[in-house]
Structure 1
């Protein structure tokens, strides 16, 4: 959390915003904002979103989320990442098919064993 607060503080200073200004925008006291920035009070999700809006900064930047770790799924064959999703689907399908194949083989072994035991019981 401290790194998020450090980024908020840094962006606030870059934009030339004072504690008083952000406090007013958040509808809290200057002391409350100061405590928030010093991590003496909890930063709520609602306030985080409001700060991102006031600072005109994406939430991902405040949270230091790298764009290459964000994936968007579209139902389009031309979508970026479609091939990776398709490969993952195919890998899972292959594994599922193999599990089904092994399960069916076990069932056949069970049926053979039952038949053998039935024959031994009859004699």
Structure 2
């Protein structure tokens, strides 16, 4: 199985849509240099940005990530340097499992925050 880099895939999909780096950067509220760095695998890409890219390129997020080794960075509002790990997308099933686990973690975090809000309102 030949693996394709995420940056190569982003560039290919952007070309297929006929978008320039400047155009996609503007749509995503990023700089052209950031798009260039993404396409050349010189930067990590946040999960939020990956979602925006998949929407803009009209491609499913799982399709975008399949057959790639992707470093996913998740930043929270308290610490912009937080790095939460690497997703190795060897098989779509593994990616789905990883994403489901992350979704459950986020649901639990939201539940705790909601409970704290209720307590603070009392």
Q: Structure 1 length normalisation: TM-score?
A: 0.50
Kindly indicate which of the two structures has a greater share of residues assigned to strand: 2
TM-score, with structure 2 as normaliser: 0.50
- More relative contact order in 1 or in 2 (CA 8 Å, sep 6+)? 2
Structure whose CA Rg is larger: 1
